[in-house]
Structures are given as C-alpha cells and as structure tokens.
Structure 1
Amino acid sequence: MDPVQTTTTTVGNLVDYTVETLTTIDEAGRILPLLAEGWTVSADGRQYTFKLHPGVRFHDGSPFDAKAVKWNFDRLIDPAVRVPIRAAYPIEKTDVVDPLTVRITLKHPYAAFLGALSSTTSGLLSPASAVAPGNDYKNYVHIVGTGPYTLAERRKGESLTFARYPAYWGRPTSYESVVVRIVPEAATRESLLLAGQVDLIILPPLADVPALQRNPALKVLLAPSDRTIFVAINTRKPLLSDRRVRQALNYAVDKAAIVKNVLFGAADPMDAPMASTLFGYCRTGAYAHDPTRAKTLLAQAGITPGTRLQLLHPTGRYVQDKEAAQAIAGYLREVGLVVELQTMDWPSYVATISTPAERNTTQLHFLGWAPPFLDASQQALQFLSTYAPPGGLATSFYANPEVDRLILAAEQELSPDRRRSLYCEASKQVWEDAPWVFLWVQRFPIVYSAKVTDVGSLPNEKFAAVHARPAR
C-alpha cells in the first residue's frame, strides 16, 4: 500500500481512497489540479512551481504544506527506498518557497511530469506517520494521507476497510465506509455481486458479460483502458535474436480470433506498441494472421519444424490469461513449433521474468502493462528501451540504439508535436523489430448494482467510485 512501491492499478485504485496527489486526471484523461491549486513551468521546462491548497490536513492532524511535499519527493528519489517506476520522476531537488508554495527542479526537461504527478506513485503521505507503529521510512504499511477516507482496517489477503474522514477538505462522500474484499476468482466475485453481498466488482468472467448486461439489477461498463497485453520475447536468446523469428511469431498468432473467441470482444488488437489512450500513440501497423508467411520467415532464419519453445504465463492476473496463452500456443504449433506452457503464481512469475539477462532462462512470457499516467513516456522507457532488469522492466532485453535515442529525445522535448513525432518514429522501429508478440489492448469491465450511481472509469484502468452514491 506504500504509494511509491505500487506497480499495479488495482492497488493504486485502493490507495487513492486515502492518499492524494498534486494533480489528477478526469474520465477524458485531462490533467487537473488536486492538492495543487495551480502551477507554473519555467521556460526551459525544468522548474515546476506549485501553489498548494490551504487548510488541508493529513488524517493524523498534521498540516499538509510545502515541507510535507518536499519530504515526500525527497523520499521518492531516495535510492534507499524501493520505487519501481522511479524513472518517471527525474527530480533533481525540491525546495520550499513558502508554506504553501513548493518548487520542483528536474534534471532535464520532462513534458510528461504533470501526468506523472497524477500517478499513485507520487501520492503524498504524512511525514509524521513514518514513525507510526508498523511503519518505517522505507516501507509504509498503515498509510496516512489527505483523502476522503482513512484506512480503518486491513486484513491481509482478505479485505480493506476505509472510513469516511469527516474533516476532508474536498467534495463530501456519500458512504460512511467502503469495504473492499480481495477475491481472486472471477466467478466468485460475480456470485457475490449477484447475491447482493457486494455492490461492485471488476473483471467478471467475460463469457458472462452479455448476461450481466441484460440483468436490470446491474450496470456494466466495458471501459477503455491503457493496458496492453503482449508476449515478451527474450531477444538475448540465440533462437529468438533474429528479427525474422520474432516477426514470424507475430504472423502466426490470430489475435482477432482470440479477441473474439477467448476474450468475447473485450479487447482490441494492438496496432502500435502502446494503447491509443496514451499521448505519443500513432497507428503503426498490423501483423495479420498469415501462417504461410510465418513458416517462410522461420525457414529463412534456419528454424526447423519441431523447434521447442517455452511460453511462461500467470493465471488469474490478466483477463483470460490462461486461456489466451493456450490459444497462442496452439497457433504457434500450427507453424511447426513445439510449445511448452508453464504456469507460475504471480510472485514467482515476476521474480523469474525480472531476473537479469545473463541469468534469465525465459524465452516467451505473457505480460500486460497499464501505464499509471497517459503518456508514452513511462511505457516506452520502462519496456522498450535498454532500461532492463534489475533496474527496469524491459524483460525482452530489447536493445536498439536508434530507439533509445528517439525515446530519450522525446522524454526531454517540450514541443507536443515534436514529441508525438519522435514517439511515432520509435514505435515504427519497435514494430519492425518485434520484441513482443503484439496482442491486444484490454478493456476494463466494471459491473455494479443498479442501486448505486455515479460510478465511472478512468482511462488508466481505474474505476471511479470514491464519490458513488445510492441511486434514487
């Protein structure tokens, strides 16, 4: 629950009930003020000066002020603290200008910074709570923020209970408490909703969505999201280092058929290395299902029928992940490859794919990513540059100096048009190099009781229910 350590939108969605950020986004993806009333940016794009909301207090009664903001950003860039997406925050220093004004200086211009500040990773905690029982500077268990709810109870692996904070500075909430139950099985979540034991679920069994849509007691959102699903290809392995082999894998898999028959239409085949909701997206291409071409490319690369590959995948982490992996393996077998499927629990899976290249034994692994803010910056840097484990997330170990150059140039470019062009150039090269089997952009199914209203979604794969209220 420590904001700086979050890597999933699911956890971030829960942290957001109690912890807030300087900026936020609305359902259209626009960046808006939250704990900051407003800001100015220096001409060189390196200094951001924020005016803070007056009269805001943390849940422990301590003041939210510039000193608290500085403490949080100093912690975020501290190498002693684990911050998986620290690369999104190229902060040089944070200065207190006055009690309600803070200035953040970046190491270099970074046009995505305001978006990064809307991410849960930059959520602002009470510095005083660092010494609260169970907490320490490096790891918060009992988070204390400024949000509309406090974290009242946490039962590990079972539930979280949030209690309304009566002195909240912002828009009042309708419910005294919100209980979030942790239920990994999609069918069980659905049963709880149908029995009236919960009011909202995410990610129901996709095969059941049409029936849920017909149920007058329920509301269904098939929300757009920024989550791309792909098969990462370990480009360091001799068998997979040839671009023709990786392209062949893309031509072998019928993504449209899997979307239709396995995902029941709740996704869209990828046409770029990122979702269309991200700034910097441009339609790049398509690997149509073409098994004949796949076989030709494999033969040209010297890959003979019967060559063995291993596809590693989690179960229950992504929508229909096990079923999708089985379908992908089937298509690869049709072009002459012998594919072994291997399943792991999520912690073991992450540890395996995150092993540094020289010790990494994976060949193919099924993976998804929903960038925490709507800019190509984070996904491009973390997954498509040479920012590989253990420091980064580029588990394909893909390395193209020209792509690195384009991504780094886009990171520091202030002109929106030029940034978009740079990311588009990088996308085209990545698409050609095929470090992934480009699969689909997942939609985000949310189902809730018709007795509840004002439930929505955010385009970074979060449900928006903090201000939900009883339907009249």
Structure 2
Amino acid sequence: MRLLKAAMLGLSVLTAAGAAQAAGTLRIGLQDDPDRLDPALGGTFAGRIVFASLCDKLVDLTAKLDFAPQLATAWSWSADGRALTMTLRQGVTFHDGEPMTAEAVRDNLERYRSAPESVRKAELKAVSAIEVVDAQTVRLVLSQPFAPLIAVLSDRAGMMVSPKAVARLGKDFFTAPVCSGPFRFTERVAQDRIVLDRFPGYWNAGAIHLDRVVFRPIADTTVRLVNLQAGQLDMLEELAPSDAGKVKADAKLRLAAVTGLGYAAINFNVGHGPRADTPIGRDPRIRAALEAAIDRDVINKVVMDGLFVPDNQTELPDSRYFNPKVPVPPRDLARAKALLKEAGVEHPSFEFKVANTPRDVQVVEVIQAMAAEAGFDIKVSAGEVNANIEAMNRGDYQAHLNTWSGRSDPDFNISIFIACDGFQNWGKYCNPKLQEVLERGRAVTDPAQRQALYHQAVEIYAQDRAILYLYHPTWLFAHSAALQGFVTVPDGIIRPQGLRLE
C-alpha cells in the first residue's frame, strides 16, 4: 500500500507539471538528482546524462566505443607521445554568444587542472602546459606520455564552458551553467526538475529535433515506470530488471538495453579518519572473509533477474584488460569463518551505506543476509546519493555500495577510486606497488604492454580488497513508442542528437 501511495504521489506531481509541457518536450526520468552542474565539480552519473544535452565535449564516444569528433574535429600525437594537438571545430558559440576558440579551450583546461574547486585535477595531472597554436588549434603538452588522455577529453574534462560566464559567476557557475551543447540551461528545482531549452545557435542544429528537455529525478523505480506508463514521462533510465517484462508487454513502450562499462562495488574505508579504525577497515583477511561469504551469481539472479554480469574486476570479461587468472571466487562459508577466526574477530560488525534506491538497497540486504551466515553483523544505512558522497568525502563511512558508470579506458575505472592520488579515493587506500603499475600503464600506448600491466593491477587489488567488485550493470532504458532515434551506448549516457517525438 505504501508503494502504491508513493507511485500515485509521484504520478500526481508529474500530472500537474505535465499540463504545462511545450510541444517537442522530452521528459526523462532519472534515478538520482544530479550534483552541481559544473564539469569542474560534477561527480554523479545523473549529472553526466544532463551534461550530454547541455555541454558538448572535445571528443565523444560511439556505440562501438570508438572516439569521434565533437568540438575537436581532429587530433594527433607527437612522435614521443608528449604532446597532443587538437584542431577545433569552426563556428561554435557558447550559449551566451561568445565564440569557442583555442583561447577558450585553454581557459577551460587550465581551470580543470588548477582551480582550487576543480575535481578534474587528477585526470589532467599529466598535462604540464596548454598552448594556443592559432585560433582553431590547441596543443596539450605532457610531462610524460599519457595514453588515457583522449578518454579523459571524452568526459567532463573535455566539456567546454563559457570563460566569460565562469569569470562572472566564479564558484557559483553551477547555478547557471553556460556551455556549447544543443540545449541551454533554463531552471533547476532541487529534487524536482532540471529544464533545458533548445539553443538556436548550436553548431549541429540539424541533429536536434526537440524544443526542450526536462529531467526529473525519481528515486523509486516503480514510480518512474508508473509515470512512463501514464504518459507523464517519455523516457526513463535505469529501469528495474524485474520490470523489463512489463515494458516488453506494453505496446506503447519500448525497451532498450546495452551491457555497461561500469560496475557496482563495495568501497571500504581503510584509512580515512577514525571511522576506518574497524576490523574490516584494518584487516584484509576480514574483507576476504566477506567476499567468501557472498555469492555474486545469487545477487544477480535475486535482484537483477539474471540480466547483469557478475564480476570481481573493473573490466568486462570480454575486455583485453580482464585478467582470466583471477576468476570470480565461489561462495565458501567454511573459508569465510576460518578467515574470521584467524583474524580473531569471529563476529565483525560494520555500517554499510547505500543509495536509497530500491535495487541498491536490495543488493545490500542480500549481502547482509549471506554475510550473517558467516558471522558478520551488518547495519544497512540508506541515504540520498549526494549526501552519501559528502559523507565519504569526510571519511564518515565504513563501507559503501559504489556504482560507477565506467569509462572506455581501464585506467579511469581503477585509478579514480584506488590510486593513491585518486580524486574519489574516499577510503584512502594506497598501495605503492599498485601505484607504480598504474603509472606505467598510463605511460605506454602499446596495447600488449598495457594489457600486461593492467593484469598486474588486477592481481594486486584483488588481494588487498579495498574495493570488492560485484557486477557490471546492463543499462536498461524504457521509452514511449513515440520516441524515435534513440541509440544505446555502453557508457549509459542519453545523447539527444537524433531523438525525435513522433
């Protein structure tokens, strides 16, 4: 009854707002409310979905995981791999009418790599200088070869915003972001909606067939689906796997799916403040016991209807960077109990934070039940995703279920969270040997050499278990049959180019 009331409440809210929707408006239901709408500050997946309509990047990613021109039309490496020269698209303007020139690109990249508030610093650490060659050409000079750089520029560090708007708004840029994407910012009401309107001066205007995009954060998957079925949404992301059959059976709806680059993982606080001083934070044997107590296949079948890909590594099993010598371990309760006895803590307890979404909470509850059989006492604490991130930034957590949307280069699926200088290394894990391997992996471009190095990385992090990887998601989208032109990409991002409402 509570769930039905919640669904009806969500439906009534959107019905009231839906009456005022303009023609050509695409309404998208998001699982989470994005964090700050500034590429220098953003860290949520929901924010990346909004940015795809708001802020173009230097480079984009295709459905086949190839890099494609967006604001940069071409790029080339120097012979020694220490400089990347990019040719910029002509005729691009920001939403405030300012031209996007090489000087503007330099200003953006300098802000990302040096502004006190920027969280992009680690991603651009290898960049030692940005040079303006001419009005449409920029050169990135590196302190050492850095193979993942193109992948970096295909995400937030490659998003170009108006330097004039940054100068005017400063740290408050996120309140009224000015970019160069197909839609410009109109309004935001926290936990309710983000509204973007079509930018007439967009360089690729012929690919845009919508007047407005409205993003509505709705954490409850059932409420999102109810609103889609009632016509109050046109599309939703992160459909619950258990609802896939309902969408397939509804002639008015369409289901789209793609295996994602990302993963879900248990992130442990092993060195960030007083809350790291717990048995599971101090002793890798207890984390090994937890891993032995769980069954990834059971989690997938019970919570995701078997639609996801169980795994204990950052990369998909068909990736060259997946290490087949480190397979998913089977559940072994006897080993779990033996490890706890060896560690001298047969009934360890810890708080397990999780985003307050039905799927994530259910995943943690399944882990809680399985671990209890080995002797673990887990307290589940569900909270809003941005509040959880702030808590982790403070070190105010013991374990957290992380969901990562994934990147096309393996370095950014590992380093962000467990490199010593990773900007989202909330648990302050630092293994010098892993750090050395990751630094070598970034500095070489030969695929075979990189493969060997990232295989080494797997062997190290799988032993330390500062993070326990659980599964790769299948991105599940549901949308109205009236929406045409949607193309799934393994990064899970909804791109507006080509979308139309019939």
The normalised TM-score by structure 1 is 0.91
Q: Which residue of the other structure, out of 259, 264, 288, is the alignment partner of 2:300?
A: 259
| Contact kept in structure 2, 1:277 and 1:459, CA below 8 Å | no
What is the rounded CA distance, in whole Å, between the counterparts of 2:265 and 2:411 in structure 1? 18
The yes-or-no answer on 1:350 pairing with 2:389 is yes
What is the rounded CA distance, in whole Å, between the counterparts of 1:262 and 1:226 in structure 2? 19
User: Residues 175 and 442 from structure 1, CA distance in 2 versus in 1: closer, same or farther, beyond 3 angstroms?
Assistant: same
> Which whole-Å deviations, capped at 9, do the CAs of 1:22-80 have from their partners, x for residues lacking one?
11110111111111111111112121111111122222222111111111111111232
| Contact kept in structure 1, 2:268 and 2:466, CA below 8 Å | yes
The yes-or-no answer on 1:23 pairing with 2:54 is no
What is the rounded CA distance, in whole Å, between the counterparts of 2:159 and 2:318 in structure 1? 23
What is the rounded CA distance, in whole Å, between the counterparts of 2:319 and 2:248 in structure 1? 28
> Which whole-Å deviations, capped at 9, do the CAs of 1:151-185 have from their partners, x for residues lacking one?
23333332222222223222431122222223232
Q: Which residue of the other structure, out of 233, 240, 263, is the alignment partner of 1:205?
A: 240
| Contact kept in structure 1, 2:355 and 2:382, CA below 8 Å | yes
Identity, in percent, stands at 23
Alignment of 1:82-161 (within 5 A): 82-90=117-125, 91-132=127-168, 135-136=169-170, 139-161=173-195
Alignment of 1:54-93 (within 5 A): 54-80=90-116, 82-90=117-125, 91-93=127-129
| Contact kept in structure 2, 1:230 and 1:367, CA below 8 Å | yes
Instruction: Report the AA paired with residue 266 of structure 1.
Output: L
| Number of residue pairs aligned between Structure 1 and Structure 2 | 457
Instruction: Report the AA paired with residue 136 of structure 2.
Output: L
1:291 corresponding residue in structure 2: 333
2:373 corresponding residue in structure 1: 334
What is the rounded CA distance, in whole Å, between the counterparts of 1:279 and 1:76 in structure 2? 31
Alpha-carbon distance, 1:455 to partner: 0.8
Alignment of 1:186-205 (within 5 A): 186-205=221-240
More helix by share: 2
| Contact kept in structure 2, 1:273 and 1:430, CA below 8 Å | no
> Which whole-Å deviations, capped at 9, do the CAs of 1:410-438 have from their partners, x for residues lacking one?
11112222112101111122112222233
The yes-or-no answer on 1:468 pairing with 2:499 is yes
The yes-or-no answer on 1:303 pairing with 2:345 is yes
Alpha-carbon distance, 1:354 to partner: 2.3
Instruction: Report the AA paired with residue 280 of structure 1.
Output: Y
Unaligned 5+ residue runs, structure 1?
none
| Contact kept in structure 1, 2:255 and 2:477, CA below 8 Å | yes
Instruction: Report the AA paired with residue 421 of structure 2.
Output: Y
| Contact kept in structure 1, 2:183 and 2:197, CA below 8 Å | yes
Is the deviation greater in 6-15 or in 336-345?
336-345
The yes-or-no answer on 1:239 pairing with 2:275 is no
User: Residues 213 and 184 from structure 1, CA distance in 2 versus in 1: closer, same or farther, beyond 3 angstroms?
Assistant: same
Instruction: Report the AA paired with residue 314 of structure 1.
Output: A
1:180 corresponding residue in structure 2: 215
| Contact kept in structure 2, 1:281 and 1:376, CA below 8 Å | no
Q: What secondary structure does 1:140 align onto?
A: helix
What is the rounded CA distance, in whole Å, between the counterparts of 2:130 and 2:478 in structure 1? 42
Alpha-carbon distance, 1:453 to partner: 1.3
Q: What secondary structure does 2:382 align onto?
A: strand
2:11 corresponding residue in structure 1: none
Q: Which residue of the other structure, out of 293, 303, 310, is the alignment partner of 1:269?
A: 310
Q: What secondary structure does 1:163 align onto?
A: strand
User: Residues 455 and 147 from structure 1, CA distance in 2 versus in 1: closer, same or farther, beyond 3 angstroms?
Assistant: same
Alpha-carbon distance, 1:322 to partner: 1.0
Q: Which residue of the other structure, out of 300, 322, 326, is the alignment partner of 2:361?
A: 322
The yes-or-no answer on 1:249 pairing with 2:290 is yes
Alpha-carbon distance, 1:146 to partner: 2.0
The yes-or-no answer on 1:14 pairing with 2:50 is yes
What is the rounded CA distance, in whole Å, between the counterparts of 2:426 and 2:84 in structure 1? 33
Alpha-carbon distance, 1:147 to partner: 1.8
Q: Which residue of the other structure, out of 254, 257, 268, is the alignment partner of 1:222?
A: 257
Q: Which residue of the other structure, out of 390, 405, 420, is the alignment partner of 2:436?
A: 405
Q: Which residue of the other structure, out of 58, 77, 87, is the alignment partner of 1:41?
A: 77
1:386 corresponding residue in structure 2: 420
> Which whole-Å deviations, capped at 9, do the CAs of 1:169-225 have from their partners, x for residues lacking one?
224311222222232322221111101111101123332221112212111122211
Instruction: Report the AA paired with residue 494 of structure 2.
Output: F
What is the rounded CA distance, in whole Å, between the counterparts of 2:278 and 2:185 in structure 1? 50
Unaligned 5+ residue runs, structure 2?
1-36, 272-276
> Which whole-Å deviations, capped at 9, do the CAs of 1:82-112 have from their partners, x for residues lacking one?
2224211122111111111111112221101
Q: What secondary structure does 1:464 align onto?
A: coil
